[in-house]
Amino acid sequence: MGGSIVLFGPPGAGKGTQAGRIVDLTGKPQVSTGDMLRAAVKADTKMGAEAKVYMDAGLLVPDSVIIGLIEERLTQSDAINGVLFDGFPRTIPQAESLAKIAVVESVISIEVPDDAIVERIVGRRMDPETGDIYHITFNPAPSEIESRLIQRKDDTEETVRARLEAYHSQTAPLAAWYSERGLLLSIDGNQPIDSVGDAVEGAVRATMSN
């Protein structure tokens, strides 16, 4: 069975864009815990039913249930050569549990400084009529629709900095953990999207050729 890839990085680092490229390159399905939880609940699997109890009560789904869902997901035919984990693991205990049920062949870390993340997210504006996303600096909207653009409630500097703080305290230590195991591939995410994509592609191809 092939190994899985973990995609790692702070909120706003551009993981979603790069995940698509990795899926296209490797054929590994993208697995996010949110999508997996929703699918398991909808399919009413044993683990899905267990997760639903926590979700209905407004509680965090415990790691043991998430790991059970991942184990279930890895038995599906499209996961025979591994998957792309997006947004998981988030903590070292989760990574230790994951190592017991899946072979992680590489961890791609997209690194972007906090100030650049804040600029990216706080500058985002959405057109409520079309759902299109613009940016006041990097991708300004046409002047005729500018007046109707809105900023999402959680795109404020205060909220973004709080999310980054949580990321640095809980998730960032994973970089050192995976680095010690020789699995971490760091990518400079503070450059144009195409350049980041080329770097990610290079990292994935290097992993595939090993």
Q: Distance (Å, rounded) from C-alpha 199 to C-alpha 210? A: 17
Spatial contact of 108 and 22, defined as CB atoms under 8 Å apart: yes
Q: Distance (Å, rounded) from C-alpha 142 to C-alpha 130? A: 13
Is 124 noted as a catalytic residue in this protein? yes
- The residue annotated as part of the active site, out of 21, 38, 52, 90, is 90
More confident residue, 17 or 23: 23
pLDDT of residue 1: 47
pLDDT of residue 58: 87
Is 152 noted as a catalytic residue in this protein? yes
Model pLDDT for residues 144-163, shown as the tens digit of each residue:
999 999 999 889 999 999 99
140 secondary structure, DSSP code? P
Q: And the tokens for 176?
A: 């050192």
Confidence class for position 78, pLDDT limits 50, 70, 90: very high
pLDDT of residue 210: 66
- The residue annotated as part of the active site, out of 38, 52, 161, 163, is 163
Model pLDDT for residues 95-106, shown as the tens digit of each residue:
999 999 999 999
**pLDDT at residue 117 tops 60:** yes
Say if domain 4-28+81-205 classifies as CATH 3.40.50.300: yes
* Mean local confidence (pLDDT), 76-84: 94
Confidence class for position 92, pLDDT limits 50, 70, 90: very high
Model pLDDT for residues 159-180, shown as the tens digit of each residue:
999 999 999 998 899 999 999 9
Spatial contact of 164 and 120, defined as CB atoms under 8 Å apart: no
Is 125 noted as a catalytic residue in this protein? no
- The residue annotated as part of the active site, out of 148, 152, 181, 205, is 152
- Listed by start position, the domains of the chain span 4-28+81-205
Spatial contact of 33 and 66, defined as CB atoms under 8 Å apart: yes
Q: And the tokens for 172?
A: 């960032």
Spatial contact of 175 and 8, defined as CB atoms under 8 Å apart: yes
Q: Say whether 131 sits in a helix, a strand or coil.
A: coil
Q: Distance (Å, rounded) from C-alpha 111 to C-alpha 116? A: 10
pLDDT of residue 83: 96
Spatial contact of 17 and 9, defined as CB atoms under 8 Å apart: no
* Mean local confidence (pLDDT), 12-24: 90
CA-wise closest residue to 33 among 3, 6, 1, 10: 6
**3-state per-residue secondary structure call for 102-126:** CCEEEEEEEECCHHHHHHHHHCEEE
Is 163 noted as a catalytic residue in this protein? yes
First to last CA, the chain: 15
Model pLDDT for residues 32-60, shown as the tens digit of each residue:
888 888 988 999 888 899 999 999 998 88
Is 90 noted as a catalytic residue in this protein? yes
**pLDDT at residue 208 tops 80:** no
- The residue annotated as part of the active site, out of 15, 28, 73, 125, is 15
- The residue annotated as part of the active site, out of 21, 124, 181, 205, is 124
pLDDT of residue 200: 94
* Mean local confidence (pLDDT), 179-185: 95
Q: Distance (Å, rounded) from C-alpha 61 to C-alpha 55? A: 7
Q: Distance (Å, rounded) from C-alpha 202 to C-alpha 169? A: 29
